[in-house]
Structure 1
């Protein structure tokens, strides 16, 4: 699994690490039982702090998507909820597009609410 970060992004690196794993799960390139690369390997490859990667992995653990095992092995949980993952990935893509368009948080949320409202009709 390829984990990447964008150093020019305002999003914290740990959030980007977790987001890359969520995207891989939502896209089907990773699934339950797959091992994540070691935090040490990811940190060395990306040139970021080991604790930053571990924070990203801990976010995934807290969400129930990853099990952290002794020796810092991270394995994708068998209970990963695919619908929630797809929704999170779509929301992240929407947020990126909103940021690139220069929308404020309020404008982005209003646009999302309007789109949901339009689908209800």
Structure 2
């Protein structure tokens, strides 16, 4: 797994990392049961703060994509790459809306209007 982060990007580092893990699940580079690098190892290899990696892992845990096991690390538990892809598309939509200066509420209105 080769992940990188761009400190110059407006996207927070933890979110860049979480997005790369999501993409790895979508393209099946990462599969259910596979162990992720330890937060300490990943932080050292990317030259970022340990807490940044932990925040990315916690975000992925909260999304139900990985399980964090004390002393044993992070393990992929995602079953549906299609659903993970939908999360990625939503992230991209919100990021683009942010670049355009649109509030989340406006994006929701846009989506509601498309449902008809």
TM range (shorter): 0.7 to 0.9
User: Residues of 1 paired with 2:48 and 2:30: CA distance?
Assistant: 23
Contact 2:4 2:46 in 1 (8 A): yes
The 5-angstrom pairing of residues 1-121 of structure 1 reads 1-71=1-71, 73-77=73-77, 79-95=78-94, 102-106=99-103, 109=107, 113=111, 117=114
Task: Note the C-alpha offset of 1:95.
Answer: 4.9
Aligned residues: 115
Contact 1:64 1:80 in 2 (8 A): no
Gaps of 5+ in 2: none
Could you list the per-position Cα deviations for residues 51-110 of structure 1 after superposition, in whole angstroms to 9, with x for gaps in the alignment?
Answer: 110111011111111111121511001x433222011222334455666xx52235x938
Could you list the per-position Cα deviations for residues 20-50 of structure 1 after superposition, in whole angstroms to 9, with x for gaps in the alignment?
Answer: 1011111221110111111111111111100
User: Residues of 2 paired with 1:3 and 1:72: CA distance?
Assistant: 21
User: Residues of 2 paired with 1:54 and 1:72: CA distance?
Assistant: 14
SS at match of 2:84: helix
RMSD: 2.6
User: Residues of 2 paired with 1:48 and 1:8: CA distance?
Assistant: 13
Contact 2:36 2:74 in 1 (8 A): yes
TM-score by length of 2: 0.79
Gaps of 5+ in 1: none
Contact 1:26 1:89 in 2 (8 A): no
